[in-house]
Copies of this chain bind each other. A is one copy, B any other.
Amino acid sequence: MSSLLEAYVQTEDFDIAQEYQYLRENNSECGAFVSFLGQVRDFNEGDSVSSLELEHYPGMTEAVLNKLLQEASDRWAISRAKIIHRVGALQASDKIVWVAVSSAHRADAFAACEFLIDALKTQAPFWKKECAEHGERWLDAKDSDQAKARQWMK
């Protein structure tokens, strides 16, 4: 049985109830659903963040996300997986990213979901610019993200 894998890059918000419906509909052979939601935090390194601008590389982003979904599906027994990543202007507490995985077995769902967000953070061409009290600045990539991504390397 091949997996149902989908990735979306969009400015629009998404609805969590609808995303769970997508995961669960006609999917009663799956017992386990794991999801990750990332939202805009109202602070980052001590500075109060009022908004975020998310830039991406159209085309390459979708290609990378689809490649990661395929890799997750190859490595773990998953039934469905979906990534949604927003771009454009976002405010504190806005949703940024959604990664949801269904599987017959919870360990596969957890591993695939965490792999996807860790790999996305270091491989998918998105860039965040923070608009805080003291002006705008592009975020620096975190070494801790690189370290997390390396843990998944075979």
Contacts and interface: CB of A to CB of B under 8 A. Distances in A.
Contacts of A88: none
Contacts of A28: 39-42, 92-93
A148 interface: yes
For the complex formed by this chain, how many copies does it contain in all? 2
Given A17-B16, A106-B117, A107-B148, A93 B24 contact: yes
A29 B16 contact: no
Interface string A4-34: 0000000000011100100010011111111
A32 to B, nearest CB: 6
Interface of A: 15-17, 20, 24, 27-43, 92-93, 104, 106-107, 109-110, 113-114, 117, 148
